[in-house]
Amino acid sequence: MISHGKDIKVFTGNANPKLAEEICKLMGTKLGEAEVGTFSDGEIFVSLYETVRGSDVFVVQSTCTPVNNNLMELLIMIDALKRASAGRITAVMPYYGYARQDRKAKARDPITAKLVANMLTAAGADRVLTMDLHASQIQGFFDIPVDNLAGNPIFVDYYAKKFGSACEDMVVVSPDVGSVSRARAFAQKLHMNLAIVDKRRQKANQCEVMNVIGDVRDKDCIIFDDMVDTGGSLCNAAQALIDVGGAKSVHACASHGVLSGPAIDRINNSVITELALLDTIPAIDPAKSGKIHYLSVASMFAEAIERIYQEVSISKLFR
Rg, Å, the chain Cα set: 20
For residue range 111-145, list pLDDT tens digits in order.
999 999 999 999 999 999 999 999 989 999 999 99
According to DSSP, the residues that pair with 91 across neighbouring strands are 59, 128
Query: 316 falls in which pLDDT band (50, 70, 90)?
Result: confident
Q: Which amino acid is at 278?
A: L
Helix ranges (H only) for the chain are 17-27, 67-83, 112-123, 152-163, 180-189, 232-243, 263-268, 298-309
- What are the phi and psi torsion angles at 94 (to 5°)? -55, -35
Cβ atoms of residues 55 and 86 within 8 Å? yes
Quote the pLDDT of residue 178: 81
What is the pTM (predicted TM-score) of this model? Answer: 0.93
Helix ranges (H only) for 204-289 are 232-243, 263-268
Across 48-61, average pLDDT: 97
Half-sphere exposure of 300 (CA within 13 A, CB side): 28
Domains of the chain: 8-150+298-318 (3.40.50.2020), 152-295 (3.40.50.2020)
Other beta carbons less than 10 A from residue 176's beta carbon = 18
Other beta carbons less than 10 A from residue 26's beta carbon = 17
Which listed residue (82, 199, 219, 288) is catalytic?
Answer: 199
Distance CA(174)–CA(268), nearest Å, equals: 21
DSSP character at residue 318: G
199 is catalytic: yes
Cis peptide preceding 66, ω within 30 of 0 = yes
CB neighbour burial string for 211-234, b if at least 16 within 10 angstroms, e if fewer: ebbbebeebbbbbbbbbbbbbbbb
For residue range 9-39, list pLDDT tens digits in order.
999 999 999 999 999 999 999 999 999 999 9
Lowest mean pLDDT of 11-15, 79-83, 241-245, 268-272, name the range: 241-245
Cβ atoms of residues 17 and 25 within 8 Å? no
- Would the pLDDT of 1 be above 50? no
Angstrom distances, CA of residue 169 to CA of 48, 144, 166, 187, 293: 53, 43, 6, 11, 23
Lowest mean pLDDT of 102-116, 159-173, 253-267, name the range: 159-173
Cβ atoms of residues 59 and 13 within 8 Å? yes
Query: 177 falls in which pLDDT band (50, 70, 90)?
Result: confident
Distance CA(163)–CA(251), nearest Å, equals: 12
